[in-house]
Chains A and B, each alone.
Chain A
Amino acid sequence: MEFTTHISVQNFNVFYGSQQALKDITIDIPDKKIIVIIGPSGCGKTTLLRSFNRLIDTTEGVKVRGKVLVDGEDIFDPAAEVTRIRKKMGLLSQHPYPLPMSIYDNIAYGPRIHGTKNKKALDGIVEHYLKVSSLWDEVKDRLHSPASRLSVGQQQRLCLARGLAVEPEIILADEPTSALDPKSSRRIEETFMRLKQRYTIIIVTHILRQAKRLADYVVFLYLGELIEHGPAKEILENPRQEMTKEYISGAIS
C-alpha cells in the first residue's frame, strides 16, 4: 500500500509517573485513510491517540520521550504552539461531552475562539458541519436550545460537527461508538467512510468487527508496545505475529 505520511511517530515513549504506558513506538500514519488502533484495554491505545493532540499534557505526572511529527513538525517541541496543533485535530471521545451551551454555540465555539466573529459566516459554518455530520435535519428548528437535551447519539454527531468546524486535517476518535446504540453507531461509521476523502481519521476501538468495517490501516498495540501494523487486509486476515493472531481470534483480550 502506497501512502504519504501524515503523522510520524519516532521512538515515542510515555510515562505516567514510574509506569511506562508506551514503549518506543515508531510508526508512520498514512494521510487520508482510516487508521484503526486495536489492542486489549490498558495497552496504550488511548494514550497514543491523546498524544497526537497533546491532550496527555493535561494528565498529571506525564512524561514524554521521543518525537511525534505532524506534517513534519515536532509537536512536543517546547516552541510548538499547542492550541494550533490541537486545532489541526478534531476529537471524538468515548462519551460525548457537548459544551454547556446551545447547539449553535457548540459548533460556533471553535470558530469563534479562532477569530470568526461574523454572524453570517458562523451561520454558514454551523449549517454546513451539522449537515456533514447528518444532524442538520433533526436540529435545524431548535439550534438555540441546549445541546444537553439531545440524545446521546445526536450529541456524538454534534461533537463531530463541533470538531470539524475548526477545520482540522485529522479526526481522532476514542471508541466513538461505545456509548451509542447500534443505529447511532452505524451513522457515525457511515460518516467516517464519507469523511476519509478529506481527513486522516484515527480510531481507537476494541470492536474487531468495527475495525474490519472501517480500517484501511491497522495498528496493534499490546501492553504499551507496538506489535504489528500495516494495511488492514494483511493485519486482520494474515497477521504475521503470533500475538496479533491470538488477539484477532479472541484468545487474548
Chain B
Amino acid sequence: MNRVDRRKIEEAVFKVMMVGSTLLIIAVLVVILATVVVKGMAAMNLAMITQTPKGGYYLGKEGGVLNAIVGSVYLAGGATVLAILIGLPVVLYLNVYAKRGGRLAAFTRFSFDVLWGVPSIVYGAFGFTLMLFFGLGASLLGGIIAVALLILPIMCRAMDEVMRMMPKELLDASYSLGATRLETAMKVAVRQALPGILTAVLIAFGRGIGDAASVIFTAGFSDSIPYSLFRPAATLPLAIFFQLGTPFPEVRERAYASALILTVVILAISVVSRLLARRFTRHIVR
C-alpha cells in the first residue's frame, strides 16, 4: 500500500471516530432529556408546581413539590449571593492587585482546582460539622453555607478565566488617568469581564440547585415552604431522591416529574445566561 493511500485511510478512520464521539455526546443528551420528559410528563400536573405535599403525598395522594421548588431557588440563590460576595473580591485581588505569576496567585488558583475536585458529600459533611459547632440544626442557612462552599471554586475559576484574558493595557489606561486600583477593579475590570462574571454566576447557580449530597444533612427536608433561614428547607434533588425511594409507582413517577421541573429550571438558566452574556458583550474591548 503506498503512502498516499495510507494517509487517506488514516484521515477517514479518525474522521469517523470523531464524528462518532460527537454523535454519542448528542445522543446521551437527547436520551436523558427524552427519559425525563416522557416519564415526567406522565405524572406532571398543575398541582405539582403549585402545591406543597398534602398529608398522604408520599403514599400517592394529592399535593405537589412547590416546597422543594421554592426551597431550591432560595437555597441556590442564597448560596450564589454568598459565593459572589466571597468570590468576586478573591478574583479581583488575583487579577488587579496580586503579582501576576506570583506565588500567592499560583497557590490560590491551585486551591480552586483542588476544591473543585472535592466531592459534594464532603462539603455536606464539612457544612454539617460547622453547623454542629455553631449549634445550628438542619436549616436553609446550613444548606446555603454548604452549597456556597461547593460552588465557590467553580465560580471563582470561571471568573478568573475571563479576568485573565483582560489586556493589561486596559488597566494601564485606567491607572494613567489617575485611578486607584480599587476604582480600576470596580469600574473597568468588572465591566470588561461582566459577561464572563454573569456566566460564572449562572453556572454556579445551576450547579448549586442540582446538588443533592451537599444539602442532605445541612438543609434537611420539610413539607412546607421555608419562611426562615433557621428552618429546614426542601430541595428538588432530595425530593427526587425520596420519591424514587418509595415503593409506590405513582410516587416514583412524580420523581420524574420533579426531575423534569429541575431540568427545565436549569435549561432556563443556561438560556438566560447566554442571552445576558450576549447583551453585555457590547462594551467589551478586545
Binding site for B on A (CB under 8 A): 53, 55, 58, 60, 83-84, 86-87, 89-91, 93, 95, 97-102, 109-110, 113-114, 146-149, 159, 162-163, 166, 172
Most B C-beta atoms less than 10 A away, residue of A53, A87, A113, A149? A113
Residue from the set A97, A146, A159, A163 with the largest chain B CB neighbour count within 10 Å: A97
CB distance from A65 to the nearest CB of B (A): 21
The answer to whether A93 and B173 have CB atoms under 8 Å apart is yes
Q: Which residues of B are interface residues toward A (Cβ below 8 A)? A: 99-102, 167-180, 183, 187-188, 191-192, 194, 282-286
Most chain A CB inside 10 Å of its own CB: which residue of B169, B178, B188: B178
- Chain A, Cβ-Cβ closest to B188: A99
Given B102, B177, B180, B283, which contacts A101 in the complex, CB threshold below 8 Å? B283
**Inter-chain contacts of A93 with B (CB < 8 A):** 169, 172-173
A89 and B282 CA atoms in complex are apart in Å by 29
Measured between C-beta atoms, what is the minimum distance from B193 to chain A in Å?
A: 9
> A159 near B177 (CB under 8 angstroms)?
no
Q: Are A83 and B180 in contact (CB under 8 A)?
A: yes
> Which of B175, B177, B183, B284 counts the most chain A CB atoms within 10 A?
B177
Q: Chain B contacts of A163 at CB under 8 A?
A: 176-177
Between A and B, 26 residue pairs with Cβ closer than 8 Å are A55-B172, A55-B176, A58-B172, A60-B101, A60-B102, A86-B177, A90-B176, A93-B169, A93-B172, A97-B173, A97-B285, A98-B285, A99-B285, A100-B170, A100-B188, A100-B192, A101-B283, A102-B283, A109-B179, A109-B187, A113-B179, A148-B282, A148-B284, A148-B286, A166-B177, A172-B176
Report yes or no: B171 in contact with A58, Cβ–Cβ below 8 A: yes
> B176 near A60 (CB under 8 angstroms)?
no
Closest 8 CB pairs of A and B: A87-B178, A91-B176, A110-B177, A100-B192, A100-B283, A83-B178, A100-B191, A86-B178
Q: How far is the CA of A113 from the CA of B179 in the complex (A)?
A: 7
Chain B residues whose C-beta falls within 8 Å of the C-beta of A55 in the assembled complex: 172, 175-176
Q: How far is the CB of B196 from chain A (nearest CB, A)?
A: 12
Taken together as a complex, chains A and B put the C-alpha atoms of A58 and B178 apart, in Å, by: 13
Rounded to whole angstroms, the CA-CA distance of A97 and B179 in the bound complex is: 15
Q: Are A86 and B175 in contact (CB under 8 A)?
A: yes
> Does B170 contact A97, Cβ atoms closer than 8 Å?
yes
Min CB distance B73 to A, Å, is 31
B286: chain A residues within 8 A (beta carbon): 148
Contacts of B167 in A (CB 8 A): 97
A97 to chain B, nearest CB (A): 5
CB distance from B143 to the nearest CB of A (A): 36
Give chain A residues whose Cβ lies under 8 Å from the Cβ of B178.
83-84, 86-87, 110, 113-114, 166
Residues A113 and B169 in contact in the complex (CB < 8 Å), given A99-B285, A100-B188, A101-B191:
no
Query: Would B99 and A60 count as touching, CB distance under 8 A?
Result: yes
Q: Which residues of chain A are within 8 angstroms of B101 by Cβ–Cβ distance? A: 60
Closest to A50 in B: B172
- Contact across chains for B176 and A53 when beta carbons are under 8 A apart: yes
Nearest B residue to A86 via CB reads: B178
Complex-state Cα separation, A195 to B187, whole angstroms? 29
**Docked complex Cα distance between A108 and B142 (Å):** 45
Q: Which residues of B contact A86 (CB under 8 A)?
A: 175-178
Question: With A60-B99, A90-B176 as given contacts, are A146 and B283 in contact (CB-CB < 8 Å)?
Answer: yes
In whole angstroms, how far apart are the Cα atoms of A109 and B179 in the complex?
Answer: 9
Q: Which residues of B contact A149 (CB under 8 A)?
A: 282
* Chain B residues closer than 8 Å to A99, beta-carbon distance: 170, 173-174, 187-188, 191, 285
Chain B residue numbers with a CB within 8 Å of A113 are 177-180, 183, 187
In the bound complex, residues from chain B placing their C-beta under 8 Å from that of A114 are 178
Tell me the nearest residue of chain A to B183, going by C-beta.
Answer: A113
A38 CB to nearest chain B CB (Å): 22
CA distance A51 to B23 in the complex (A): 57
In the assembled complex, which residues on chain A have CB atoms less than 8 Å from the CB atom of B282? 146, 148-149
Chain A residues positioned under 8 Å from B173 (CB to CB): 91, 93, 97-99, 159, 162
CA distance A39 to B170 in the complex (A): 26
Nearest CB in chain B: distance from A114 CB, A: 6
Closest chain A CB from B268 CB (angstroms): 28
Task: Please tell me if the beta carbons of B283 and A148 are within 8 angstroms of each other in the complex.
Answer: yes
Contacts of B172 in A (CB 8 A): 55, 58, 91, 93, 97
Complex contacts, A147 vs chain B, CB 8 Å: 283, 285
User: B189: nearest residue on chain A (CB-CB)?
Assistant: A100
Tell whether, in the assembled complex, residue B283 and residue A83 are in contact, meaning their CB atoms are under 8 Å apart.
no
Shortest Cβ distance from B173 into A: residue? A97
Q: Which residue, B100, B172, B286, has most C-beta atoms of chain A within 10 A?
A: B172
Contact call A109/B177, Cβ cutoff below 8 A: yes
